[in-house]
């Protein structure tokens, strides 16, 4: 009996969280790795001549059990971790890295793949099969299959060390986030803070057995304090605590880890014949080369910087007039921006939050998905959860057929990292004539309900939920044959299109009237508030663009040149990378790189630019919806057919042009941002 048959007998073959103990994972991984190795051996030892079916296709379907266990374990390590899980992760990661190398460095397996690849012009393959063949061949050739033995061993060592360093980086950040507490016992110190934020802080203190109000580095606590708290000294303290994660020279310091990761990535790339890690990564991206990324970022910088400098100057004048502030600091940014926005638009998040009860926003996202793609979401309680806060749904189409299982996890807790993300517990694929439907999850960190109020979202949190839900739709509506090409398995600079385009619906009256109702009165959000939301949508867009560009440029600085190998100071390197985008004075105690989880823990190394890249796509795509109607079925069906369902089966630009009828035009983004007329 396999592990999957033993454990995965719940409804819809869902993950049996209640049956799994942490100590089960390590032996399960070892068994699944051995089974996957046997599947690879069977391909290698097949006495028949290599064909697409007996080599490429069989290889893509192999390791299903291992993939399932990995997705469950590493999702728990992000959303519901503990010391035991983290220790297991440190044991498991080298095993998985070694197994991955066992495949890509297997000469006999590569020979069979190469035989099929070299005769592909004579094979009658579908577009998807051709893509899979190219991808499988490159997964070997780009990862050391052609190296001599000594270099292969070096590659194994590097990959093993990188897998452990990335885990350690994330563990340090989570530990730092959990360790910081700012307990306030004088209510005057909370001046300016909205009642809901004060109540949440009080509730947090009580949960820890403390008197007063507890402020933490979790986003639902940190963001309101930085935005509304009048006490500048406390904002500074909180800001410096947030900005110094991994940068204190203690046992949780990430500086050496950053240097080791960047140097190992470059060493790995050069071992494989590439100039830098970015050259290696971008070969398989729409952008193609580091120089193209740098050109893209600099062109946007040229457009955004004048606007950003002007916005910053106006903010400085405003802060001086209001409070006599002579030098704006980073801990002033959100506070005075919010005050200025209130002055210019008579709008603030506290006005909007009563209309964005979490349950209503969730239903709003579901309604948008139904109107666009014919999906219906039914909450179910027949499948396992990894935490009581998790919501579970069955997703069906117009015919009543199962489209997906959907998990949603919205509140912060000690075992959960900050931020928001979409992930998968089970991929979509068509195998033996059966279309296996995916299990998709989104994870966020929103304010929990209090004793007097439900969870009320800021408008930024509303767009975050829609963003992650857009990723989820990409996963749910996948309809490809092979798991490695399914759902979000696309070029990294294309993956943000489905998420970012869905954010656009949050600004439309037609959408807001579907779900933005006052949590107490049931009144629909007033038209004047909708107009203010739209009017303020480009507020400080220049500064926001500059901020995003600075992150992309820092990423490319670490990964797009060889200089990190000669770097000894993470802070000095970062300061130089930020030189062209800085508006605020530097804070000596702070360093972004040591907590930049996207690129040092997640999958965004050499890819952070993709957020802006995809904004060009989403702005252009949404103009098409606007032209035809934001719920136009014809346009929605084209987006579903040519983008959401296709995964990575074709070049993304080909898919985009099939949907849009043209290549994307950057002017759409600049128009939306108010940077051009």
Active site residues: 468
CB atoms within 10 A of CB 27: 10
Asked if residues 195 and 450 have their Cβ atoms less than 8 Å apart, the reply is no
- Here the tokens at position 392 are 């579970």
User: H-helix or E-strand containing 406?
Assistant: strand 402-409
Torsion of CA 655, 660, 666, 668, to 10 degrees: -140
- Here the tokens at position 651 are 């070049």
Distance, CA of 442 to CA of 405 (rounded, Å): 12
Distance, CA of 62 to CA of 431 (rounded, Å): 11
User: Please, which residues have CB within 8 angstroms of residue 157's CB and are 6 or more apart in sequence?
Assistant: none
Strands 421-426 and 391-396, bridge-based pairing: unpaired
Distance, CA of 50 to CA of 59 (rounded, Å): 12
CB atoms within 10 A of CB 651: 15
How crowded is the C-beta side of 661, counted as CA atoms within 13 Å?
Answer: 5
- In the chain, the largest separation of any two C-alpha atoms, in whole Å, equals 82
Distance, CA of 413 to CA of 79 (rounded, Å): 9
SS3 224: helix
Crossing angle for the helix pair 459-476 and 358-373, to the nearest 10 degrees: 40
Q: DSSP label at 446?
A: P
Distance, CA of 249 to CA of 72 (rounded, Å): 33
- Here the tokens at position 351 are 């006005």
Phi and psi at residue 116, to the nearest 5°: -65, -45
- Here the tokens at position 644 are 């959401």
SS3 21: coil
Distance, CA of 647 to CA of 655 (rounded, Å): 10
Distance, CA of 360 to CA of 370 (rounded, Å): 15
User: In the chain, what is the straight-line distance between the N-terminal and C-terminal CA atoms, in Å?
Assistant: 65
Comparing C-alpha atoms, which of 487, 529, 477 is closest to residue 506? 529
Q: Edge to edge, what strands does the sheet with 439-443 contain?
A: 376-379, 391-396, 402-409, 439-443, 421-426
Asked if residues 27 and 88 have their Cβ atoms less than 8 Å apart, the reply is no
DSSP-assigned states of every residue in 283-334:
TTSSS-SHHHHHHHHHHHHHHHHHHHHHHHHHHHHHHHHHH--SS--GGGHH
């Amino acid at each position: 009996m396999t592990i999957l048959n033993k454990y995965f007998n719940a409804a819809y073959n869902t993950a049996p969280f209640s049956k799994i103990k942490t100590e089960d994972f390590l032996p399960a991984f070892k068994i699944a790795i051995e089974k996957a190795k046997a599947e690879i051996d069977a391909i290698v030892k097949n006495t028949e001549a290599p064909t697409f079916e007996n080599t490429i296709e069989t290889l893509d379907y192999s390791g299903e059990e291992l993939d399932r266990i990995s997705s469950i374990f590493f999702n728990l390590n992000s959303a519901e971790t503990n010391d035991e899980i983290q220790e297991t992760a440190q044991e498991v990661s080298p095993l998985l890295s070694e197994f991955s190398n066992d495949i890509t460095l297997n000469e006999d397996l590569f020979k069979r793949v190469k035989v099929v690849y070299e005769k592909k012009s004579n094979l009658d393959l579908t577009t998807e099969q051709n893509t899979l063949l190219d991808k499988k061949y490159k997964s070997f050739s780009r990862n050391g299959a052609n190296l001599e033995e000594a270099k292969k061993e070096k590659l194994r060592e590097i990959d093993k060390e990188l897998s452990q360093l990335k885990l350690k980086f994330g563990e340090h950040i989570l530990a730092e986030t959990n360790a910081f507490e700012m307990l306030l016992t004088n209510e005057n110190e909370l001046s300016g803070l909205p009642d809901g934020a004060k109540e949440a802080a009080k509730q947090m203190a009580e949960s820890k057995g403390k008197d007063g109000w507890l402020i933490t580095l979790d986003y639902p606590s940190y963001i309101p304090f930085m935005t509304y708290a009048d006490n500048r000294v406390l904002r500074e303290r909180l800001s410096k605590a947030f900005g110094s994660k991994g940068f204190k020279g203690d046992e949780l310091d990430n500086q050496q880890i950053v240097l080791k990761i960047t140097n190992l990535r470059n060493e790995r790339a050069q071992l494989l014949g590439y100039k830098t890690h970015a050259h290696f990564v971008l070969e398989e991206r729409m952008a193609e080369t580091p120089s193209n990324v740098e050109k893209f970022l600099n062109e946007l910088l040229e457009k955004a910087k004048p606007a950003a400098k002007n916005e910053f100057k106006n903010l400085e004048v405003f802060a001086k007039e209001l409070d006599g502030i002579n030098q704006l600091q980073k801990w002033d940014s959100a506070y005075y921006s919010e005050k200025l926005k209130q002055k210019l638009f008579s709008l603030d998040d506290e006005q909007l939050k009563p209309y964005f009860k979490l349950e209503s926003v969730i239903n709003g996202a579901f309604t948008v998905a139904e109107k666009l793609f014919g999906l219906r979401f039914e909450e179910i309680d027949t499948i396992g959860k990894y935490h009581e806060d998790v919501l579970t749904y069955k997703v069906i189409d117009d015919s009543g057929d199962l489209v997906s299982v959907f998990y949603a996890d919205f509140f912060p807790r000690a075992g959960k990292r900050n931020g928001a993300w979409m992930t998968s517990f089970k991929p979509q694929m068509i195998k033996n004539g059966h279309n296996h439907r995916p299990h998709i999850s989104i994870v966020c960190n929103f304010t929990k309900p209090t004793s007097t109020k439900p969870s009320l979202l800021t408008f930024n949190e509303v767009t975050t939920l829609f963003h992650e839900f857009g990723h989820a739709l990409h996963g749910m509506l996948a309809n490809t044959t092979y798991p490695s090409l399914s759902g979000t398995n696309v070029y990294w600079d294309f993956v943000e299109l489905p998420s970012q385009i869905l954010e656009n619906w949050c600004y439309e009256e037609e959408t807001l009237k579907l779900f933005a109702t006052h949590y107490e009165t049931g009144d629909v959000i007033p038209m004047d508030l909708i107009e203010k939301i739209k009017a303020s949508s480009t507020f400080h867009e220049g500064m926001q663009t500059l901020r995003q560009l600075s992150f992309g440029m820092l990423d490319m600085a670490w990964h797009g040149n060889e200089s990190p190998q000669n770097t000894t100071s993470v802070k000095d390197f970062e300061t130089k990378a930020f030189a062209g985008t800085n508006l605020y004075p530097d804070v000596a105690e702070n360093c972004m790189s040591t907590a930049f989880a996207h690129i040092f823990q997640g999958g965004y190394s050499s890819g952070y630019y993709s957020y802006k890249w995809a904004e060009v796509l989403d702005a252009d795509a949404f103009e098409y919806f606007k032209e035809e109607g934001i719920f136009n079925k014809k346009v929605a069906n084209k987006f579903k057919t040519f983008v959401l369902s296709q995964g990575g089966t074709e070049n993304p630009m080909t898919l985009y042009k099939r949907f849009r009828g043209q290549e994307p035009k950057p002017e759409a983004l600049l128009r939306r941002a108010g940077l051009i007329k």
